[in-house]
Amino acid sequence: MNCNIVTIPGDGIGPEIVREACKVLDKVGEVYGHTFTYTEVLMGGCSIDAYGVPLTDEALETARKSDAVLLGAVGGNVGNSRWYDVAPQLRPEAGLLAIRKGLNLFANIRPAYLYKELADACPLKKEIIGDGFDMVIMRELTGGLYFGERHTEEVDGVLQATDTLTYNENEIRRIAVKAFDIAMKRKKHVISVDKANVLDSSRLWRKVVEEVAKDYPEVTLEHMLVDNCAMQLVMNPGQFDVVLTENMFGDILSDEASMITGSIGMLSSASLNETRFGMYEPSHGSAPDIAGKDLANPIATVLSAAMMLRYSFDLDKEADAVEAAVQQVLTEGYRTADIWAEGCEKVGTAQMGRLIADRIR
Ligand code: NAD
């Protein structure tokens, strides 16, 4: 298979971690007979330096024509960087919003998986962790409260602010279809999270999700209220497989789910549109405090590349091989500084990438 990948290294540790993910992809190509071709474009602070804007139309167009995008991270030290003395739409992070919108990436997938080797970093008690957990949060990314009409006004001398939460059935259906498709590649269990006891938008959400479920008889569907879900995530995380939810609930629950894995350098993510196209990136930022020091953990980006293989290229076997290689490196006791523990061997960014690539079978 020939795959055209646009890479966006971005700022801070971005170039270091994307380099390692490409190293791993190249090894996958070698072992499984695929060709990955990379076209690099600028986004974020580096694009501001080169072109005066965080994302050029040309860069967006190049990304649009590719099969998938692999992103590092954008942004500098917010309190102390030349990129922030400008209007919000000219700051590095505006590039992110522009590319998500420009590529119509409405479905955000964030896995939360507990490696037993890193279980000590999990803030939950051992009896709650049990055999660990392995879930993905599927969050709607371009609708709901964050995109609704909003205003602040004075009513009878009192300030009043209004935000509106709107979803139409098409927006719900397309994200539900993504969630059920992904459940078919996993344990075939969707928990749809809403607030249907209060919100009309949630009642419509539930109705449409139930309609979509009829096309997936092998997948079990459950509904859960968002407040209960927030509790269940820390009481019994092992029960979740695919969590399907709207934008704001997903924003909060995905952070909660990632927190219980205990390590930000391990968390991958994907944002998909209606086709197989997706943008894949670690959940963390550009970590300017450790940039250029060979300290960054590249695993979140490597695992994001594995998601690219699985969801954009349908290469499940190859994605499994990347995930198994990460698992093996951890089992053998190699750790970057952020996840290091007594008795383990500390390695830098480049060595971690090499160790993973060497274990692709
Ligand atoms: P951050 O995620 O960059 O860093 C938080 C802490 O985690 C830091 O101590 C950092 O050293 C550490 N860390 C993060 N990733 C790591 C890795 N792979 N290996 C080892 N340690 C890691 O968050 P922040 O400091 O709040 O933000 C820094 C910049 O990143 C800001 O400009 C912010 O706007 C930007 N940001 C970008 C994205 C993105 O591009 N998607 C996401 C979040 C933040």
Question: What are the pocket residues of ligand 1 if the criterion is a CB atom closer than 6 Å to any ligand atom?
Answer: 13, 73-76, 78, 93, 96, 264-265, 281, 284-290, 296-297, 300, 338
Q: Clarify whether 195 is annotated catalytic.
A: yes
Both 69 and 130 in a single domain?
Answer: no
Q: Confirm whether 146 is a catalytic residue.
A: yes
Give the chain's domain count. Answer: 2
Residues 207 and 254 in one domain: yes
| Domain assignment present for 117 | no
Given 232, 260, 288, the domain boundary residue is: 260
Q: What is the pLDDT of residue 256?
A: 93
Residues 175-192: b if buried by 16+ CB within 10 A, e if exposed: bbbbbbbbbeeeeebbbb
Q: Which atom of ligand 1 is nearest to the CA of 78?
A: 32
User: Packing angle between helix 349-358 and helix 14-32, nearest 10 degrees?
Assistant: 10
Q: What is residue 260's three-state secondary structure?
A: coil
pTM of the model: 0.92
**Contact at 8 Å (CB) between 148 and 165?**
yes
- Catalytic-role residue among 101, 146, 181, 188: 146
Q: How far is the CA of 301 from the centre of ligand 1 (A)?
A: 13
Report d(CA 45, CA 52) in Å as an integer. Answer: 9
Q: Are residues 255 and 292 in the same domain?
A: no
Same domain, 238 and 319: no
**Ligand 1 atom at shortest distance from the alpha carbon of 81:** 32
Tokens of 250: 């997903």
Q: Do the domain assignments include residue 40?
A: yes
Catalytic residue among 26, 251, 294, 358: 251
Q: Are 301 and 353 in a shared domain?
A: yes
pLDDT at 140 over 90: yes
How remote is the CA of residue 280 from the centroid of ligand 1, in Å? 16
Residue 251 known to be catalytic: yes
User: Are 134 and 236 contained in the same domain?
Assistant: yes
Q: Are 286 and 76 in contact (CB under 8 A)?
A: yes
With bands split at pLDDT 50, 70 and 90, how would you rate the model's confidence at 263?
Answer: confident
**Assigned domain for 116 exists:** no
pLDDT score for 220: 98
Given 260, 281, 312, which residue is the final one in a domain? Answer: 260
Q: How is residue 323 written in tokens?
A: 């995930």
219 and 340 both lie in a single domain: no
Determine, yes or no, domain membership for 58: yes
| Mean pLDDT, residues 222-243 taken together | 98
Query: Tell me: the pLDDT tens digits for 25-65?
Result: 999 999 999 999 999 999 999 999 999 999 999 999 999 99
Specify the CATH number for the domain of residue 193.
Answer: 3.40.718.10
118 belongs to a structural domain? no
Q: Are residues 15 and 93 in the same domain?
A: yes
Q: Is residue 209 part of a domain?
A: yes
Helix (H) or strand (E) holding 335: strand 334-335
Tens-digit pLDDT profile for residues 69-105? 999 999 998 877 789 888 888 899 999 989 998 999 9
Query: Ligand 1 centroid vs 68 CA: distance in angstroms?
Result: 23
114 found inside a domain: no
- 100 and 129 assigned to the same domain: no
CA distance 47 to 54: 5
Domain that holds residue 202: 123-260
Distance from Cα 136 to the centre of ligand 1, integer Å = 21
On the question of pLDDT at 22 being above 90, the answer is yes
Q: Please give the biggest Cα pair distance in the chain.
A: 70
211 CA from centroid of ligand 1 (Å): 39
Write out pLDDT tens, residues 199-212. 999 999 999 999 99
Cα-to-centroid distance, 109 and ligand 1 (Å): 19
| 62 belongs to a structural domain | yes
159 and 252 together in one domain = yes
Task: Determine which residue's CA is closest to atom 30 belonging to ligand 1.
Answer: 285
Q: Which of 47, 71, 279, 286 to mutate to test the pocket of ligand 1 (most atoms within 8 A of CB)?
A: 286
Known catalytic residue at 167 = no
Domain boundary residue, one of 201, 231, 260: 260
Instruction: Tell me whether residue 215 is one of the annotated catalytic residues.
Output: no
Q: What mean pLDDT value characterizes the chain?
A: 96
> Do 10 and 81 sit in the same domain of this protein?
yes
Q: Do residues 101 and 4 share a domain? A: yes
